[in-house]
Structure 1
């Protein structure tokens, strides 16, 4: 069967539509479908501009064809401002011949300086605008020796546009979710908490950087056969029991979420790891395999969440000297030890401490340490 508009096999068209949505999962989104379109349309380049370049912004685009990095850089940095093929009607496929004469097109600086050197003569495209404000451009190019785009070519692209629009909208939603995930994962790293997410079979789906660091050391906990284990037999039996309970609770929506904890012994003799096992509620609309079913939080008491010097100073209006002392005290040093570490006299340290107490409205060193450790200062640690 063929589509009446394009005289195009529906089976092939269905594959192309599927490739548009599969493009959401590609490392470089939509690269495969753009390659298919290039082949089907006899184009030398096909480009999807996801974010248009502008002053101080190189934009974001996916291009297939024999494109060079120099060509992309020159467009991002200079030629985008000369491009006459912009501001097209939303979701309407047009060619250059519909917006300007052939003589005007080939005489334009954009054509002469940017397109002609890479053998681009015919241009077809459409602008896509989603309801949430995303605007992107689809562009298809042919060489000088190729025929101009036909009504069939335009109809073919027109049929694909609604699917590109939906896919771009979904990509924005997925990107937001991924950004949130990275923010929360980063916050857990800054708080020095390892997170291990397990699927319904107890296998590791994802870990954060802190969990990777703890598990790589194999000091108390490790990963074996893609599953978490405690290195001591008794601890491991208890850990596996807690994980099993969490997985059972995950599959039963009528049972409350379970949270259990265990102290895990370390071979090195360092203080035990604190481990919390938390079941993940089953979503009402969950389906398929490899869903998050349980999460393990791991805290190594030997790791200190070192807040950035500047953040502590700004947060509490400390002087640089007061900040240095406060951070030494937060790391567990006594006033005398902190003074020695900083190379200052004890009387000077006491004077700084009085000022610190006044600015934080506390009267005891233990209260000060609690305020510092419970503040948002540790969240100001930058990514490595």
Structure 2
């Protein structure tokens, strides 16, 4: 158990760390899959990490309303933190709900058995851990559940560490935007504002075009709020590959242009990392430190931001290597890191995505 707990402690810091740690726990409990999931309000599922998930498993979970406790008997039995629920509890809740939608999903992906617990519960969401077992795995044993229960606090510690890292990303993005005077809101995968610039603060409150609560942003007028919520819904379910959404807020006689940008998503994220950027007024009109903005939004290093700037200027990789006095292999390695952080696969995709933000 010690080595497995050490894996969770290091999971937020290593590529693929979460996948390895969750797979190890699945193996120790004799389960085909391990799931780390967050269920929020409005049916949002900002997090659904499932090891060895077959094609369609995560997508169909959202499509069937898998976060709805009136449909999903696993969610319906989500109790107090660290309270273990298993097959006997599932049987009772399944009989009470009598909803075929989730049952069909379970049958399709062969995950009828397992155990689960809530790791932490907030006012508008909870984070849970579940062992998902197939018919071949059978029902959990007492020993399986004991191993699962012993690991749960260590998973929560790793979740909290991951969250702090992701919140730091929002703060860095806001700091970069503040430096160029932009009125900007950095929004996480739960639809909540993780950070905002001083210029944005002046737009919130009595008489302003926006209001801010724990649930997120809303427009001061009904038409503006409708457009804002539609844009947020479209952007937050994307993988960062949708064009910016433009809409107007404020009174009809003094409208304010808003642009909502989808930011790149990470493979492993709790949904607290920056997922969307709401800017009041185009970024291009703000001027300022382009390299600093790229570092804040994408997590680029100084060298990587410089390479992106040179690519935007039309330089070839060979020319960049000469200017930076770096080998071709070094430049290639840095460009691969840039692609990974920007969630793109080709240079044209990168330039298009950066161009949307900095045009």
- Scaled by the length of structure 1, the TM-score of the pair is 0.46
- Scaled by the length of structure 2, the TM-score of the pair is 0.49
Higher relative contact order (CA 8 A, sep 6+): 2
